[in-house]
Amino acid sequence: MDKFRIENCSDELLCGIDGGGTTTKVVVCNLEGQVLDSFQSGTINHYGAGIPKVKEYFAAIAANIIEKFACLPGTIFTGNSALDGLADDALVQELTNGVFHPSKVVFHSDVYIALLSFTLGNPGAVLISGTGSMACGIDAGGAYHTAGGWGQVLGDEGSAYHIALKGIHAALHAYDGLSEPTMLSASVMKFFDLKKMSDIIDKIYNPPVEKGVIAAFAPEVERAAEEGDPAALHIMESEAEWLYKLALAITKKCITQNLGYFGSVLNHNHRIRSKLSALLAEQFISLQVPRFKPEIGALIGAFRESGHRVSDSVIDNLLKYR
Amino acid sequence: MDKFRIENCSDELLCGIDGGGTTTKVVVCNLEGQVLDSFQSGTINHYGAGIPKVKEYFAAIAANIIEKFACLPGTIFTGNSALDGLADDALVQELTNGVFHPSKVVFHSDVYIALLSFTLGNPGAVLISGTGSMACGIDAGGAYHTAGGWGQVLGDEGSAYHIALKGIHAALHAYDGLSEPTMLSASVMKFFDLKKMSDIIDKIYNPPVEKGVIAAFAPEVERAAEEGDPAALHIMESEAEWLYKLALAITKKCITQNLGYFGSVLNHNHRIRSKLSALLAEQFISLQVPRFKPEIGALIGAFRESGHRVSDSVIDNLLKYR
């Protein structure tokens, strides 16, 4: 293989990679920010896919770029959902198997490129609530801060997983007579296709389900809240308050009032987003839709890493990417 | 093997088995309740040990009894921590591989024999809080009721696992700046031997830890509460209230004011037990120490199953077992 490896790269090209939990998005642009190519590959999350698969996907990504451009981009910036911060060179080398040599390759977390897509590298913060929840930001001194992101056992308050779990708990409390009846008991029976409530034990533990299976119940909790179910409404209030606490903590750490948001809960759960917006507005913090997708955040990382300015015309060009 | 199988059993002997998550306790008595033999074997929880191991342990238990008594007990009553109720004959046959033939063999849950050890089969209820939490009871009509027991993901409020988890959550909330500082942050760092707080992610998820690893942190939360830490005190109050709700639900279902307790939290966490006792006393429910160990509860199950009365003299004899 080494014989055929392209041994040069072009400083005129930059690459951004968003390595999510299920797919990877790759974008290549020139120094004017014109996106020249974009494509998807399998997930490069090595906890999910395993290292051999990840090596395979990176080889395919490199081959794809070389086929199109006959060389590699000078800088490749990757947001990797398996990471919680900047990776060292040894890990980059292990996962990519050197297929990007001699390009400069940086691996950071997926939340970091989401942050870049909102702040373009300037001070600011983002709040993410999808299956999990987390906040991160950059302060005026350029320091990176995080809050939350502890995963489904240790935290993830305000996430789809947490909303769903609280909904299931409420259903079981009502079933046991620990609390007033709630629509959620019937929702749990139907959603998890149970003949009797105790069948949920086998569904959840035998074998242990992926967290996504539980998180998928979150829209049912929202539905019950829409229909006025008190237990579901209480969960929505409480989860919005968790996100508020997370938002306050990160904006305080970064001394910023700019907060972007990402993730299925904040995109689709209007009740939670509007409650959160209202709470934040009292603190003069505005919750904003980021202008760019995370893969463009990765490109912005590549601009910065290679010492190129993200000018207004670059931004205008990047905004054309959909 | 079948050639050597003892094909008779004595109606003069009864056997009780407490199949816990790590060990199995076996007791054999006569119809006067005099315990003639007791010994331990490996766990018969097939979720933990696997079916082949369980078959092996049952064969050893049968061999042990036959060696001592030259026959099998007429009735064998087993409380099995892998079950949440009465098992059907097919499962009993699968797990025992017929080694107890022709004895009558009954498999019920571990909480059921705990219940029998408190109520002797009369109406009453028990509350259990160890690694997990659950309540069960028998009403005046003989019907069996339960509440809780949903496991570490779906519930187990008031258990050591839940106390520990809430303690870890509190530590992380304080670390993130979502709440006031707490001693629990330092406790978590020390207990889980972390260099930096984010190392806890690897400790808990990679690979996923057994719930016992998390539950073992519960005494640290109690310690912080003893030293007056507000976050830890709040957890203790809240967990005691969960147990109170569970206790109220089960005593209401069983229409009883007799509530026995089992498990490490209720045995050792004085703060929780006294808070719970005080709350229950307001409802005229008395929280009591059961007189018997669960394996004696299994023997009582064997008495009842074989149609023998648990007379006062039987009770006096069983009380001699330690």
ipTM, two decimals, is 0.86
Answer for the pair B59, B97: CB distance below 8 angstroms, yes or no: yes
Is residue A196 domain-resident? no
Q: What is the mean pLDDT of chain A?
A: 92
Is residue B163 domain-resident? no
| Residue (of B59, B60, B67, B11) closest to B37 by Cα position | B67
C-alpha dist (Å) from residue A143 to A137, A253, A255, B5: 8, 10, 11, 75
User: Along the 322 residues of chain B, how does pLDDT read in single tens digits?
Assistant: 444 455 578 899 999 999 987 789 999 999 999 999 999 998 888 877 788 999 999 999 999 999 999 999 999 999 998 888 899 999 999 999 999 999 999 999 989 999 999 999 899 999 999 888 999 999 999 999 999 999 899 999 999 999 999 999 999 999 999 999 999 999 999 999 999 999 999 899 888 888 889 999 999 999 999 999 999 999 999 999 999 999 999 999 999 999 999 988 999 998 999 999 999 999 999 999 998 999 999 999 999 999 999 999 999 999 999 8
Neighbours of B270 (CB within 10 A): 11
Asked if A153 and B165 come within 8 Å (Cβ–Cβ), the reply is yes
- What CATH number is given to the structural domain containing B115? 3.30.420.40
Is residue A21 domain-resident? yes
Interface membership of B255 toward A (CB under 8 Å): no
- Who has greater pLDDT, A131 or B272? B272
Query: What is the spatial distance between Cα A122 and Cα A260, in angstroms, rounded to a whole number?
Result: 13
Q: Is the peptide bond preceding residue A207 cis, with omega within 30 degrees of 0? A: yes
CB nearest A154 (choices: B151, B168, B206): B168
| Residue (of B1, B250, B29) closest to B124 by Cα position | B250
Q: How confident is the model at residue A3 (pLDDT cuts 50, 70, 90)?
A: very low
Interface membership of A154 toward B (CB under 8 Å): yes
Is residue A94 domain-resident? yes
Asked if B154 and A204 come within 8 Å (Cβ–Cβ), the reply is yes
Is residue B142 domain-resident? no
C-alpha distance from A246 to closest chain B C-alpha (Å):
6
Rg of chain A (C-alpha set): 22
* Percent of chain A scoring above 90 in pLDDT: 82
pLDDT at A4 over 50: no
Q: How many residues does chain B have?
A: 322
| Residue (of B121, B98, B106, B81) closest to B16 by Cα position | B106
Q: How confident is the model at residue A2 (pLDDT cuts 50, 70, 90)?
A: very low
Place of tokens 């050591």: B160
Query: What is the spatial distance between Cα B316 and Cα A154, in angstroms, rounded to a whole number?
Result: 49
Q: Would you state the pLDDT for residue B41? A: 92
Q: Spell out which residues of chain B touch residue A168, defining contact as CB-CB under 8 Å.
A: 154
Query: What is the spatial distance between Cα A94 and Cα A111, in angstroms, rounded to a whole number?
Result: 22
| Residue (of A127, A125, A124, A88) closest to A106 by Cα position | A88
User: Residue by residue, what is the 3-state secondary structure of chain A?
Assistant: CHHHCCCCEEEEEEEEEEECCCEEEEEEEECCCCEEEEEEEECCCHHHHCHHHHHHHHHHHHHHHHHHHCCEEEEEEEEECCCCCCCCHHHHHHHHCCCCCCCEEEEEEHHHHHHHHHHCCCCEEEEEECCCEEEEEECCCCCEEEEECCHHHHCCCCCHHHHHHHHHHHHHHHHHCCCCCCHHHHHHHHHCCCCCCCHHHHHHHCCECCHHHHHCCHHHHHHHHHCCCHHHHHHHHHHHHHHHHHHHHHHHHHCCCEEEEECHHHHHCHHHHHHHHHHHHCCCCEEECCCCCHHHHHHHHHHHHCCCCCCHHHHHHHHCCC
Is residue B238 domain-resident? no
What lies within 8 Å, CB to CB, of A60 at 6+ separation is A41
Angle at the Cα of A184 from the Cα atoms of A183 and A190, rounded to 5 degrees: 100
Q: Which residue of B has its CA nearest to A245?
A: B178
CB nearest A147 (choices: B177, B208, B249): B177
Query: What is the spatial distance between Cα B168 and Cα B159, in angstroms, rounded to a whole number?
Result: 14
Q: Spell out which residues of chain B touch residue A185, defining contact as CB-CB under 8 Å.
A: none
The predicted-structure confidence for A260-278, as pLDDT tens digits, reads as follows: 999 889 999 999 999 999 9
- Label the pairing between strands A258-262 and A124-129: parallel
Q: Which residue of B has its CA nearest to A151?
A: B201
Rounded to the nearest 10 degrees, how much is the dihedral formed by the CA atoms of A290, A294, A295, A299?
A: 70
Query: What is the spatial distance between Cα A217 and Cα B275, in angstroms, rounded to a whole number?
Result: 35
Q: How many residues does chain A have?
A: 322
C-alpha distance from B88 to closest chain A C-alpha (Å):
16
Query: What is the spatial distance between Cα B150 and Cα B129, in angstroms, rounded to a whole number?
Result: 12
- Label the pairing between strands B133-138 and B124-129: antiparallel
Is residue A15 domain-resident? yes
| Residue (of B24, B6, B4, B27) closest to B16 by Cα position | B27
pLDDT at A183 over 80: yes
Angle at the Cα of A221 from the Cα atoms of A220 and A226, rounded to 5 degrees: 95
Neighbours of B13 (CB within 10 A): 23
Cα four-point dihedral sign B190, B194, B196, B197? negative
| Residue (of A97, A78, A68) closest to A2 by Cα position | A97
Range of the domain at A103: 2-121+292-319
Asked if A205 and B246 come within 8 Å (Cβ–Cβ), the reply is no
Q: How confident is the model at residue A6 (pLDDT cuts 50, 70, 90)?
A: low
Is residue B169 domain-resident? no
Q: Token pair of A21, please?
A: 């939990």
The mean per-residue pLDDT over the stretch A168-182 comes to 97
Q: Would you state the pLDDT for residue B59? A: 95
C-alpha distance from B176 to closest chain A C-alpha (Å):
5
Q: Token pair of B105, please?
A: 């063999």
Interface membership of B245 toward A (CB under 8 Å): yes
Burial of A220 (0-12, 13-18, 19+ CB in 10 A): buried
pLDDT at A1 over 50: no
Helix axis angle, B270-281 to B218-226, nearest 10°: 80
Asked if A177 and B204 come within 8 Å (Cβ–Cβ), the reply is no
Tally of domains in chain A: 1
Q: Token pair of A264, please?
A: 């299925």
| Residue (of A259, A140, A238, A172) closest to B133 by Cα position | A172
Q: Token pair of B251, please?
A: 């005593």
